[in-house]
Structure 1
């Protein structure tokens, strides 16, 4: 048993049982005893899920050093050329998202766009802790044009059209389609290493489910998962909508 697993197991032994925490005395107007019993059972599972997410986060943070990046990739940024190491700024951690907006696309992926629109609002807070870069293979002018159209204010965009970053860290091929990818890099003593990548893709998806990570990085799915209809199987975000939802 690893030290991380041993620590997690020790912590779990000291926690109040989820069933005990879930015995909520509060009631909502009109709810039945049957509803409250079922809701408390669900609450216990939600507490266990939260604890499992934290155990996974602890295990992730305890990963040994990842591979040294093969080169200091050069990108085209909104203010000119910039290297991967320079993207860190004053931080020691850099999160990158590979945006599906390669040169073969007239318009970007709507799912990526939904995600990035949410992150644009969170970016002032995210940048207090880590650096964050949005990377795509299209020319920087094309990326910035869409940023202005969408009204994004805080996302930092970079074109990787002149390097192999997308191939190396998003499994893309030069003349093929593009893939979404989250990667985390660290910098220490002038050395940049790969720390973690989201690797839950089509090959790890369960039957009847779209590929997704855990936790799900898209806020929209987290919200919809709390509703009776869930995320559904026949709806995805679009770039524009013909009518305004009511």
Structure 2
């Protein structure tokens, strides 16, 4: 992939790229002018996302993981290092499904349902683990209920992984967390974590990453009503399959 920092001087201005003639039936001149203005901003946003990705990939080595955490997997005990399989990169998602919960977090579940469909592709490039503090039997039972086929579930109920990498209080509520780990020469390091939590949220907005990892919000952001201010995903809807 081309380094955007190296090629930024040769990029055409976004407004030049965004100059489009009328494209759709019945659109007015005012619509096309406004749409082209928006298109220029979308091009700039795409470029900024790539600049951030380049900067993220250039991070110096992160901290060495303090221990080879032991988890309970669907097929028995497994360590963090073993979760990598044949890959040198491991992505983990902390699922808000601790032992105190009767049912998991609906928001986490919505995200993981989307990831389940993408997992065969994701696993071509990196390893991916879904980690919750509830007993593995409880995690797997919900996986079957939801019809997930590809997500790999692990219980961290017997270690401090969630506290160390999701800032969870073992006696309190769960926290969601995305983390990326790398392995080189047998050494496992922390590479990156989603750190845009409540303290970084803008007024009137929920905490969110950039880009937002939830496909649900990406789709709704393209619509006139947007995300709304009083709606969140549910685990079940009347009359629809889970």
State the TM bucket, normalised to the shorter chain.
over 0.9
Q: 2:211, 2:7 → 1: CA distance? A: 21
Please point out which of 131, 141, 146 is paired with 2:142.
146
Q: Give me the CA root mean square deviation.
A: 1.2
Task: Please give the secondary structure, in 2, of the residue aligned with 1:30.
Answer: coil
Give a deviation string over 1:38-79, Cα, whole Å, max 9, x none. Answer: 000000000000000000000000000000000000000000
Give a deviation string over 1:77-107, Cα, whole Å, max 9, x none. Answer: 0000000000000000000000000001000
Pick closer, same or farther for the CA change 1:14–1:132 going to 2, 3 Å.
Answer: same
Shift of 1:242: 1.9
Matches within 5 A, 1:1-246: 8-244=4-240
Asked whether the equivalents of residues 4 and 50 of structure 2 are also in contact (C-alpha less than 8 Å), the reply is no
Task: Please give the secondary structure, in 1, of the residue aligned with 2:134.
Answer: coil
Q: 1:176, 1:33 → 2: CA distance? A: 56
Asked whether the equivalents of residues 18 and 40 of structure 2 are also in contact (C-alpha less than 8 Å), the reply is yes
Q: Return structure 1 stretches of 4+ with deviation > 4 angstroms.
A: 7-10
| Worse overlay, 164-173 or 17-26 | 17-26
Q: 1:155, 1:243 → 2: CA distance? A: 26
Shift of 1:243: 4.2
Q: For structure 1, list consecutive stretches of 5 or more residues without a partner in the other structure.
A: 1-6
Task: Please give the secondary structure, in 2, of the residue aligned with 1:192.
Answer: strand
Q: 1:210, 1:187 → 2: CA distance? A: 33
Shift of 1:109: 0.1
Shift of 1:26: 4.5
User: When the two structures are superposed, what TM-score results if normalisation uses the length of structure 2?
Assistant: 0.97
Task: Please give the secondary structure, in 2, of the residue aligned with 1:37.
Answer: helix
User: When the two structures are superposed, what TM-score results if normalisation uses the length of structure 1?
Assistant: 0.95
Q: 2:4, 2:120 → 1: CA distance? A: 32
Shift of 1:11: 2.2
